[in-house]
Amino acid sequence: MGNRSARPLLSRVPAALWLLIPVLLFVAVFFLYPLLRLLMVSVPGGSFQFYEQILTSPVFLRVIGETFQTSLVVMLVTVLIAFPYAYAMANCSRTTLLLLTIALLIPFWVSLLLRSFSWIVLLQNSGLVNDMLRGLGLIDRPLRLIRTPLGVAIGMVHVLLPYAVLPLYTILKKIDMRLMEASSICGASWFHGFRRVYLPMTLPGIAAAAILTFTLSLGFYITPALLGSPRDMMIAQMIAGQIQEQLNFGLGAALAVVLIALTATAFGLFGLLQMVFARRQAKREQTA
């Protein structure tokens, strides 16, 4: 090191911190500033007219409400499907684990755009799903799947499933199955053991999967745009529409701020929930 006299100054701030400056500048310019700009555009001249418009118009409130509802349903279904899958991954042979992992990761690596595209083909009236249902004699007229909230939910669950399975799997594989065996030896039924012993231990995984799927759902754009109908819009489509079709930047920006706020609130609520779980868990361990 050449210049020793500079050292005392530098050593007060660990030298490594200088490495942070470029990335912080970059993130400030290309991430924080655009978000700040949105906030500014949404309140032109300090007026909250656009927020007023959103909060007083039944149309916008309906879209926000439906976004919430869709996200909630998608979250529940995704976690419900993901749980057995993650359980299987955590308790199976190496070969099965490999197969299940491949099935999980292939869609993960294929563009979401392309998967929405196949769902269009599968869900249309003359598509595979309707053909199969008809072949099985379950329906005689094709079901309306595409361009409905159901179609959107199917596409979204498909996209989000890996996001729910992976955090669940990391937790489930750590759980010692001997605990379950012990409870069944003590005479408890399988279901009782599952509910009282196994499930509580998986709560952190379930919470992580739920928060991830819910918050990602709130901002979905491509899947509802391709599989949904303009009548059941989600908030992201509304934002894109205001910017690209109506050229109403202020309103679009205000809706974007609302979406960020909803996402942050959801994160906050789930964080609280997780803290409550953690506390309960700690109490339980104390009393045990």
Partner 1 sequence: MKLGSLPGALTICLLAPSIGSAETTLTISSYGGGYQEAQSKAYFSPFISANPDVLIREDSPSSNAKLKAMVEAGAVDWDIMVTDDTFGLDSDAAWLEPIDYTIVNRDKFLPGTADTYRIAADIEATVLAYNAEDFAGQTPDGLAAFFDTETWPGLRAAWKYAPGGLLETALVADGVPADQLYPLDVERALTKLDTIKDDIVWWETGAQSEQLLSSGEASMGLVWVSRALSGADKGIQIDWTEWTSQAAYWVVPKGTKNKDAAMKALEFFTEPAQQIAFTEFMPYGPSNKNAVDGVLPNFKGNLPTDHLEGRIQINAEWWAENGAAVDQRFQEWLLQ
Partner 2 sequence: MTTALRRILFWGFVTLTALFLLVPTLIIVPMSFSTTPQLEFPPVGFTLDWYGKVLTDTAWLAALKNSLLIGSATAILATTLGTAAALALSAAEFRGKGVILALLLAPMVTPVIVLGVGIYMVFARWGLSGTLPGMVAAHTVLAIPFVVVSVMASLKMVNANLAMASAGLGAGRWFTFRRVTLPLILPGVTSGAVFAFITSWDEVVVAIFVANTETRTVPIMIWNQVRTNLDPATAAVGALLIVLSAIGVMLSYKFKETR
Residue with tokens 């960020």: 260
Residues 213-252 that bind partner 1 (CB under 8 A): 229-231, 233, 244-247
Contact string 60-89 vs partner 2 (x = CB under 8 A) = ---------------------x--xx--x-
Which of partner 1, partner 2, none does 85 bind, CB closer than 5 to 8 A by kind?
partner 2
Cβ closest to partner 1, residue 102 vs residue 247: 247
Which of partner 2, partner 1, none does 267 bind, CB closer than 5 to 8 A by kind?
partner 2
Task: Determine which residue in the list 5, 9, 11, 22 makes contact with partner 2, applying CB under 8 A.
Answer: 22
**CA distance linking residue 41 with residue 39, whole number of Å:** 6
9 Cβ neighbours under 8 A, 6+ residues apart: none
Which of partner 1, partner 2, none does 110 bind, CB closer than 5 to 8 A by kind?
partner 2
Taking the complex as a whole, the smallest distance from the CB of residue 182 to partner 2 amounts, in Å, to 17
Q: Which letter, b or e, does each residue of 138-168 get, where b requires 16 or more Cβ atoms within 10 Å of its Cβ?
A: eeeeebebbbbbbbbbbbbbbbbbbbbbbbb
Which of partner 2, partner 1, none does 142 bind, CB closer than 5 to 8 A by kind?
partner 1
Number of residues this chain uses to bind partner 1 (CB under 8 A) = 20
Kindly tell me the number of DSSP H helices and DSSP E strands found in the chain: 15, 0
223 Cβ neighbours under 8 A, 6+ residues apart: 112, 116, 152, 155, 156, 159
Residues 171-230 that bind partner 2 (CB under 8 A): 190, 215, 218-219, 221-222, 226
Q: At how many degrees (to 10) do helices 199-218 and 149-172 cross? A: 140
Task: Determine which residue in the list 40, 59, 132, 199 makes contact with partner 1, applying CB under 8 A.
Answer: 59
Q: By CB under 8 A, which span of 44-52, 105-113, 171-179, 196-204 interacts with partner 2?
A: 105-113
Instruction: Give yes or no for residue 144 binding partner 1 (CB under 8 A).
Output: yes
Taking the complex as a whole, the smallest distance from the CB of residue 79 to partner 2 amounts, in Å, to 13
Instruction: Give yes or no for residue 56 binding partner 1 (CB under 8 A).
Output: no
Name the residue among 251, 232, 218 with its Cα closest to residue 56. Answer: 251
Task: Determine which residue in the list 208, 209, 251, 253 makes contact with partner 2, applying CB under 8 A.
Answer: 253
Which of partner 2, partner 1, none does 35 bind, CB closer than 5 to 8 A by kind?
partner 2
Taking the complex as a whole, the smallest distance from the CB of residue 130 to partner 1 amounts, in Å, to 9
Which of partner 1, partner 2, none does 218 bind, CB closer than 5 to 8 A by kind?
partner 2
Tell me the one-letter amino acid at 88: A
| Residue 227 parent element (H or E) | helix 222-227
Q: At how many degrees (to 10) do helices 249-287 and 58-90 cross? A: 40
**CA distance linking residue 192 with residue 184, whole number of Å:** 9
Residue 90 near residue 173, CB atoms below 8 Å: yes
DSSP state of 232: G
**CA distance linking residue 39 with residue 182, whole number of Å:** 56
Cβ closest to partner 2, residue 5 vs residue 244: 244
Would you tell me which residues interact with partner 1 (CB under 8 A)? 58-59, 62-63, 124-127, 142, 144, 146-147, 229-231, 233, 244-247
